[in-house]
Structure 1
């Protein structure tokens, strides 16, 4: 009986010293060390002289490292992006459907106005009473700015059948804020004084208006309308010059339709 012969292990004869390979290895190592030293030196120079750029490069390096580590998340992120896109598309479709649906008219309640109607100052919006008579005008002067107050007076003139109504107040108006033609063709010039209760219209205010209302503006009827009162000297001067004075109570009566308009008044 013969025993199987075990194959003898071949000894590797190729592991021998190669001077050329060793020299090339150390040359590459030296080049790598030089490059590394240059990078370190440049980085130190940048940190000292340009710290902002150093911070930017550091952030970019960190971002690159994080991007390299998060490659395995790309597929899951892509799936999340697709889901988000589908959700946005569905939301856009629902919004389009809701916009295309007919909108019920808003209830006619105080303080609410349809947006498609012509803008009218809230303080001068006409209101028809229950009996169907001519509309009256509700005026809340405390809630108006000076321009709004002038527009409200102009709306009162329009309501009372005046024509060619214009708001001319502003810089260089020479005292005239509203001009119009009365129903019988007379030219009315109105100066608006939106004063508080404790601030009365004085004689100087009326005198300045009196110097321009007839000579400059060619008024047939000149009136000063205020939310306050007139001082006694102002009333006296207005009476002498033929200027009509409409105080806060008269203005309220005019707004409600229970008092005369300035051109229908017989006194000051």
Structure 2
């Protein structure tokens, strides 16, 4: 398929060149017959020169676009690598240390009265605090292996307690796992739960502000599964 497209591009380019030089040859023939060469020859020189300059400009523009594309791809790769290097340190934490670390990230981003439950039976409120604008923030932390996904059952439990039990204005589910399952993410979107998977958590760890990540809610360049 790629070879076919390449052949088509070559044929199109060749056809354009033949049309250009055909037009130049026709103009020369007309001038030769009319004998008015002194008047028209500057035009005949200018047309090929303009065509050559245009071709060179297009080649430079195309090369620039390709370079920009390669640069963007390289930066995205480096950012992903940096996130994973940071996440390697997070992966080494225990689940209790992970909850404490999430609380520290909240404080770094201006949250106040941040409290860590540090125990089981907390009904999904692993970390509780207040955003800078006064909204109550309730966080469920899941310290999962990098390859795991958060299930719909995990999300259902948090949905059932975040607001009814804890009065959350903002309910945040954060995991070290790679993604949320399709059903879990669909439930989060319907119930206004902010879902931060591994890539978004990595961005938070690297310095992104929490409130800049909340609108992404399960997206943002990671392995995501959108609801149907």
Residue ranges of structure 1 left out of the alignment (5+ in a row): 1-137
- The residue correspondences of 1:25-64 to structure 2 (distance < 5 A) are none
Q: CA deviation at 1:168?
A: 1.2
- In structure 1, what is the equivalent of residue 135 of structure 2? 186
Paired with 1:169 and 1:214, the residues of 2 have a C-alpha distance of 20
Task: Select the residue among 156, 161, 164 that pairs with 1:215.
Answer: 164
Instruction: Decide whether aligned partners of structure 1 residues 227 and 264 sit closer, same or farther in structure 2, where only a CA change above 3 A counts.
Output: closer
Paired with 1:171 and 1:234, the residues of 2 have a C-alpha distance of 22
- In structure 2, what is the equivalent of residue 168 of structure 1? 117
Task: Select the residue among 222, 235, 240 that pairs with 2:185.
Answer: 235
Which structure has the highest helix share of the two? 2
Residue ranges of structure 2 left out of the alignment (5+ in a row): 1-85, 218-228
Q: CA deviation at 1:266?
A: 1.8
Paired with 1:263 and 1:165, the residues of 2 have a C-alpha distance of 19
Paired with 1:164 and 1:190, the residues of 2 have a C-alpha distance of 13
Instruction: Decide whether aligned partners of structure 1 residues 142 and 256 sit closer, same or farther in structure 2, where only a CA change above 3 A counts.
Output: same
TM-score, normalised by the number of residues in structure 1: 0.47
Instruction: Decide whether aligned partners of structure 1 residues 210 and 169 sit closer, same or farther in structure 2, where only a CA change above 3 A counts.
Output: farther
- Larger RCO, structure (CA 8 Å, separation 6 or more): 2
Q: CA deviation at 1:262?
A: 5.2
SS in 1 for 2:97: helix
- The residue correspondences of 1:13-162 to structure 2 (distance < 5 A) are 140-162=89-111
SS in 1 for 2:195: strand
Q: CA deviation at 1:197?
A: 2.1
SS in 2 for 1:212: helix
Paired with 1:263 and 1:234, the residues of 2 have a C-alpha distance of 22
- In structure 1, what is the equivalent of residue 38 of structure 2? none
TM-score, normalised by the number of residues in structure 2: 0.54
Task: Select the residue among 195, 198, 206 that pairs with 1:248.
Answer: 198
SS in 2 for 1:195: coil
Paired with 2:211 and 2:181, the residues of 1 have a C-alpha distance of 19
> How many corresponding residue pairs?
130
SS in 1 for 2:149: coil
Structure 1 runs, 4 residues or longer, greater than 2 Å off: none
Is the CA contact (8 Å cut-off) linking 2:200 and 2:213 kept in structure 1? no
